[in-house]
Amino acid sequence: MSISSETANAAQATHASHNVQRLQLDLTQQEAIPQAGVDAALALMASGRLHRYGEVGGVPSEVSQLEQAFAREIGARFCVAMNSCGSTMFVALKAAGVKPGDRVLTNCFTLAPVPGAIAHAQAEPVLVDVTDDYLIDLADLERKIVASGARMLLLSHMRGHICDMERLAALCAQHGVQVIEDCAHTMGAAWNGRATGRWGRAGCFSLQSYKHANAGEGGLLVCDDEDIAAQAILLSGSYMLYRSHLARPDDAVFERWKLRTPNLSLRMGNLPAALARPQLGAVLRERCERWNQRYHWLAEAMQGIAHVHLPRRDGKEQFVASSLQFSVVGLESTRIAAFISACGERGLHVKWFGAEAPAGFTSVWAHWQYMGAPQQLANATRVLGGLCDLRLPLTLSQEDCQAIADTLRQAMAEATTQTNTAAAPSVA
């Protein structure tokens, strides 16, 4: 009795699935908190002084010391710590003058907290298209500025990809557009020697796990504008205890704002600050070097994988690669889904921006239905439809990176072979 080739292939695929080797890697595994952070956290818990504000003076709080340290590190006059990077973006928009109903430009390639911050400010997101190398499309940005009348850009350096900031700054200055930078993925990064977060009116950084300094959760807003800083401190929930901040404007600035700025209770507590502060300075710089080393190890090992495209990166882009993105090109979405599934069967969990439904941390503009009617984005469906994402924890070795690349290569071969054979006609 003969069987169809389709049935035979299915049987072979089932047999093969039981014999695939699984990676024993956890791409969410973080390094231990530096001992100085552990010691500070333990001392803090023993003291019970977890709230950043005290009413009897004394030594500066852990949060105030963190703000001062980060302001000095990045070269900003002011720094305000909050409970998340999303909160800092929302507060930066409010402090920069965004009102309910205003239009705010932002990248279509970003994560949900960015349009969420715009929605929190009761403003309307205007999405800007993405290039093949995952950057904000500057030509589309200019078109959207003119068409929308928006005078604020919340620029997301999504997954650490930094556009030509000199061109962007000139374009926004020409049209009178203010820039707030989402630097959740670019702590320690720069464009042509100038740090991200220092190109616009304010920069917003993350202390969430998987980012460059791990406090579990937290955000840092930096700026040189005294009115933005004073409002941010008050909005974050300082009550009338703003004098305890070390990286703050003069009292006279607070007199302008303190009676007409609401307290939104978004401040950071002392515990995450105690964990984060020892991760700045030399520790952060050393981590940045090691992250990029892992990026280059994996990118080199991935060369030659069929249908896989890695982005080009400008020599002026001094990125920090805590993750790696690649595009699957020349395949239909069903084949890409098969590739993602084959990776998962081998223990490699690849995030895919082209999935029909949001999963985990990953979603795209088409999923954010609260924004209203779909917006016109010429490249986004194609570019994000094949875009895949891998975390690069510092716990990875060079051998681990090679194993990841080997797994990607095997999964691609399986996915494309299965799809092709499944389409073949059956024979008697």
Its domain, for residue 151, covers 35-281
pLDDT at 5: 38
Domain boundary among 246, 281, 316: 281
| 79 and 179 part of one domain | yes
Quick one: pLDDT at residue 420? 53
Do residues 287 and 307 both lie within one domain? yes
Token pair, residue 300, equals 């080199």
Rounded distance, CA 426 to CA 408, Å? Answer: 29
Q: Is 409 exposed, middle or buried (0-12, 13-18, 19+ CB in 10 A)?
A: middle
CB contact at 8 A, 226 and 252: no
Residues 91 and 236 in one domain: yes
Q: Tokens for 96?
A: 């920069």
Residue 21 is predicted with a pLDDT of: 82
Please indicate, yes or no, whether residues 227 and 291 belong to a single structural domain of this protein: no
In a domain, 15, yes or no: no
Residues 82 and 186 in one domain: yes
- 189 and 66 within one domain: yes
Q: Are residues 274 and 396 in the same domain?
A: no
Q: Are residues 259 and 182 in the same domain?
A: yes
Give the separation between CA 310 and CA 321, rounded to whole angstroms: 13
Q: How many CA atoms lie within 13 A of 243 on its CB side?
A: 9
CB atoms near residue 248 (< 10 Å): 25
263 and 355 belong to one structural domain? no
Q: What's the structural domain count of the chain?
A: 2
Residue 10 lies in a domain: no
Query: CB of 116 within 8 A of CB of 125?
Result: no
Helices (H), strands (E): how many in the chain? Answer: 14, 14
Q: What is the pLDDT of residue 228?
A: 98
Same domain, 201 and 340: no
Residues 219 and 309 placed together within one structural domain of the fold: no
Residue 120 covered by a domain = yes
Domain assignment present for 21 = no
Tell which of 224, 254, 281 closes a domain.
281
Last residue of a domain, one of 234, 254, 281: 281
* Strand 103-107, strand 124-128: pairing: parallel
Q: Take residue 364 and report the two structure tokens written for it.
A: 């795209």
Domain assignment of residue 19, yes or no: no
pLDDT tens for each residue of the chain, 428 residues long: 233 333 334 334 443 445 678 998 989 889 999 999 999 999 999 999 999 998 777 789 999 999 999 999 999 999 999 999 999 999 999 999 999 999 999 999 999 999 999 999 999 999 999 999 999 999 999 999 999 999 999 999 999 999 999 999 999 999 999 999 999 999 999 999 999 999 999 999 999 998 999 999 999 999 999 999 999 999 999 999 999 999 999 999 999 999 999 999 999 999 999 999 999 999 999 999 999 999 999 999 999 999 999 999 999 999 999 999 999 999 999 999 999 999 999 999 999 999 888 888 888 888 898 988 888 899 999 999 999 999 999 999 999 999 999 999 999 999 999 645 444 333 32
Q: Are residues 205 and 298 in the same domain?
A: no
Residue 18 in domain: no
